[in-house]
Amino acid sequence: MTHVSVVILAAGQGQRMKSDLPKVLQPLAGRPLLAHVIATARNLAPQDIYVVYGHGGAAVQAALADAPVKWVPQPEQLGTGHAVMQAMPLIGDDHCVLVLYGDVPLIRAATLRELIANAAGGALALLTANVPDPAGYGRILRQADGRVTAIAEHRDATEDERRIPEINTGLLAAPAARLRGWLSQLRKDNAQSEYYLTDVVAAAVAQGCRVEALIAAQEAEVRGVNDKAQLAQVEAIYRRMRAHELMEAGATLADPARIDVRGEVEVGRDVFIDVNAVLIGDVRLGDRATIGPNYVIRDSTIGADTEIHAHCVIDRATVGARCSVGPFARLRPGATLRDRVHVGNFVEVKNSELGAGSKANHLTYLGDARVGKDVNVGAGTITCNYDGANKWPTTIEDGAFIGSGSMLVAPVRIGAKATIGAGSTIAGTAPGGKLTLTRARQTTVEGWDRPLKADEQERAAKIAAATGKPKT
Ligand code: UD1
Ligand code: CA
């Protein structure tokens, strides 16, 4: 198989965005448009990915510093053909060149594979689409037998040509050696005085080279993004595509329009996902997991038969099977819940493990804690893990019972089956199997009166005067 070199055009300014952020860095599902294109290109396992950059180049490179791409500057934007020319000296003659746009983010790898296959054997392979409103796009000109002869840019097209609904998506694949030759023939004699990449079609035809036009099966995947309205449209399409993938994988969605998948989500069988979901990064939902409304889950694993109730935020956490989380729970990075754990409302868990069957049902903070099995953490318990400078660990062994309102001042250890009396402040080891509590003795103060407000004092004084009894 021939090597594939991908060239992503990303030098345009994107003036219509009216933004300080370069167009290709505008976010789609929380990631730059260009990052989506690079991710798709990587799926093709190409030899190299070149990104042609210009406007806001430093910002683009900084935002995608980790991307495995080669950066090619295009100091002056003299057209799409000129942009591709900048990368050509770096590409071997025997490669297949695949041209992508940094602002066409929804393109699927499967479509691109077909495009590359069409270019094998020496053809120029174009990706086209039939769209309801072709205004602004280049139109595909075909002769009577259907063969493609040229692309007419909208601004250069005649009235008749403008009625053609088949448009140029801009994406194409071609053998490098031939493309190099066609590009060398480009002239700027057009409405925009630019080197149009589209003119390689006429050059190929003149050379007697085959031009294959692949009509995109889904028009949505070739949508370009030029302004904020199109950005929102593409976001909606993306959301719909990702929701459909989840449903195809067997998940039941309360409303596919109200879920945002911004990453890779894996679902087991019979998962139920309620409305207003945001799933970010790598998320795994086990068989029969149910997710209540209004939550965010990021880079986390949720076990089988676990119920996540409404309004939870789960970030880089691992939740076992048959757990119950929320409503209003927050699992922070490093939270690990083993099986059958209950974490209830207004409970925050950070870098802590809760052993099987343990419960923290109300108003609790567990930070840097190792909690054993079948532990009951009472309402309002707080691990005081931070002394203002360092974080300290808390250990709670199997079967311990922590009374409500306890402060566990770390580093601290609660032994197996220990019981902590409610309202205690525990700063030393609490031995296993025993009751430990710190509690001031309860006293009742005799002869104490509540302070009175001014008008109450006056009234009391009058009563005292009238009855002759002095006010106590
Ligand atoms: C281009 C096509 C048109 C097609 C349309 C699809 C040409 C001449 N026209 O038109 O047939 O229907 O895309 O959206 O190719 N870019 C550079 N350097 C440049 C110019 C552009 O990197 O000097 C990049 C832009 O950042 C963008 C892409 O190339 O990602 C397309 O450029 P744009 O100016 O938007 O092309 P269109 O006029 O829309
Ligand atoms: Ca464009």
Name the DSSP letter for residue 168: E
Nearest CA to ligand 1 atom 32: 80
Q: How many CA atoms lie within 13 A of 122 on its CB side?
A: 8
Sign of the Cα pseudo-torsion (22, 24, 25, 26, in order): positive
Residue type, 273: I
> What atom of ligand 1 comes closest to residue 197's alpha carbon?
15
Contact 164, 149 (CB under 8 A): no
Minimum CA distance residue for ligand 1 atom 10: 137
- Ligand 1 midpoint to CA 80 (Å): 5
- What is the per-residue pLDDT for 350? 98
Residue carrying the six token digits 């945001």? 278
Q: Is the CB of 57 under 6 A from ligand 1?
A: no
> What three-state secondary structure class fits 463?
helix
Q: How many CB atoms lie within 10 A of CB 187?
A: 10
Residue appearing with tokens 């808390």 = 394
Å from CA of 423 to ligand 1 middle = 68
Q: Which ligand is nearest to the CA of 153?
A: 1
Atom 26 of ligand 1, residue of closest alpha carbon: 12
Domain ranges (residues) in the chain: 3-222, 251-436
The atom number, within ligand 1, closest to the CA of 153 reads: 11
Q: Which atom of ligand 1 is nearest to the CA of 169?
A: 6
Q: Which atom of ligand 1 is nearest to the CA of 78?
A: 23
CA 223 – ligand 2 centroid, Å: 9
What is the predicted pLDDT for the residue at 13?
79
Phi and psi at residue 253, in whole multiples of 5°?
Answer: -110, 130
Signed CA dihedral, 84, 87, 89, 90: sign only: negative
Q: Which SS3 state, helix, strand or coil, does residue 138 take?
A: coil
Catalytic residue among 3, 55, 311, 362: 362
103 lines ligand 1 (CB under 6 A): yes
Does 362 participate in catalysis according to the annotation? yes
Which atom of ligand 1 is closest in space to residue 76's alpha carbon? 23
Give distance in angstroms: CA of 310 to centre of ligand 1: 45
Q: By C-alpha distance, which of 125, 118, 174 is closest to 6?
A: 174
126 in contact with ligand 1, CB cutoff 6 A: no
Contacts of 107 (CB under 8 A, 6+ apart): 37, 40, 100, 171, 221, 222
Name the residue with the closest Cα to ligand 1, atom 17: 11
Q: What CATH homologous superfamily does 251-436 map to?
A: Hexapeptide repeat proteins (2.160.10.10)
Of ligand 1's listed atoms, the one at least distance from the Cα of 195 is 8
For the Cβ of 170 lying below 6 angstroms from any atom of ligand 1, the answer is yes
Distance separating alpha carbons of residues 277 and 261, to the nearest angstrom: 8
Q: Whose CA is nearest to atom 1 of ligand 1?
A: 170
Residue 301 Cβ contacting ligand 1 at under 6 Å:
no
pLDDT along the chain (472 residues), means of 10: 92 89 93 96 97 91 95 95 98 97 96 96 96 92 94 95 96 98 94 94 95 93 93 94 94 96 94 96 97 97 98 98 98 98 98 98 98 98 96 98 98 98 97 96 94 92 84 52
Ligand 1 centre to CA of 83 (Å) is 9
CA of 124 to the centre of ligand 1 (A): 18
Whether ligand 1 lies within 6 angstroms of the CB of 196 is answered as yes
- Ligand 1, atom 21: nearest CA belongs to which residue? 80
388/186 Cα distance (integer angstroms) = 67
Q: Tokens for 287?
A: 């068989």
* 80, 85, 227: residue to mutate for ligand 1 pocket, most atoms within 8 A of CB: 80
Ligand nearest to the Cα of 13, by number: 1
For residue 121, what pLDDT is reported?
87
Grouping H, G, I as helix, E, B as strand and the rest as coil, residue 256 is: helix
**CATH superfamily label, 3-222:** Spore Coat Polysaccharide Biosynthesis Protein SpsA; Chain A (3.90.550.10)
Q: What is the CA(211)–ligand 2 centre distance, in A? A: 22
Cα 42 to middle of ligand 2, angstroms: 23
Among the bound ligands, the one closest to the CA of 126? 1
Does the Cβ of 230 fall within 6 Å of ligand 1? no
Q: DSSP secondary-structure letter at 471?
A: P
Which atom of ligand 1 is the closest one to the Cα of 101?
A: 30
Establish whether residue 53 lines the binding site of ligand 1, counting it when its CB lies within 6 angstroms of any ligand atom: no
pLDDT of residue 87: 98
Q: What is the model's pLDDT at position 1?
A: 57
Inter-residue contact 214 to 233 (CB < 8 Å): no
Judge if the upstream peptide bond of residue 327 is cis by omega within 30 degrees of 0: yes
Cβ of 101 less than 6 Å from ligand 1: yes
Which ligand is nearest the CA of 196, by number? Answer: 1
